[in-house]
């Protein structure tokens, strides 16, 4: 994992994701809480909308903002990619919760 510090945050140079190293947000039960780009709590099976256009390697066109993704699954992914899903036309992939909004 190639990260660097910028003030109190850690930053991924590949995707630009920023996070606080000690900010492992948890609920009362100690489980990790995953929130979308506007702060809504996400759960398995939710439907979300992509809030910004994403580039996809090997694809001439990326995933456009406004694309709906149904039936997400929350995972403990790599580099902040904490949503496992299938997107029509692209197949199975992982997304960051910071680029989606709960519908």
Which has the minimum average pLDDT: 12-16, 40-44, 56-60?
Answer: 12-16
Q: pTM score, two decimals?
A: 0.68
Domain limits, the chain: 1-28, 47-102
Mean pLDDT of 59-84: 91
What is the predicted pLDDT for the residue at 43?
A: 94
What is the pLDDT confidence band of residue 22, given thresholds at 50, 70 and 90? low
What is the predicted pLDDT for the residue at 16?
A: 77
The DSSP element (H or E) to which 100 belongs, if any, is strand 100-102
What is the predicted pLDDT for the residue at 14?
A: 73
What is the predicted pLDDT for the residue at 69?
A: 95
- Was domain 47-102 assigned CATH 2.30.30.40? yes
């Amino acid at each position: 994992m190639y990260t660097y510090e910028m003030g109190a945050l850690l930053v991924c140079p590949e995707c630009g994701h920023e996070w606080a190293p000690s900010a492992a947000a948890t609920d009362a039960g100690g489980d990790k809480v995953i929130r979308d780009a506007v702060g809504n709590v996400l759960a398995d099976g939710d439907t979300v909308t992509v809030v910004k256009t994403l580039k996809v390697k090997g694809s001439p066109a990326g995933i456009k903002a406004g694309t709906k993704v149904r039936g997400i699954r929350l995972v403990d992914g790599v580099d902040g990619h904490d949503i496992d899903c299938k997107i029509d036309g692209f197949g199975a992939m992982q997304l960051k919760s910071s680029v989606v909004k709960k519908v």
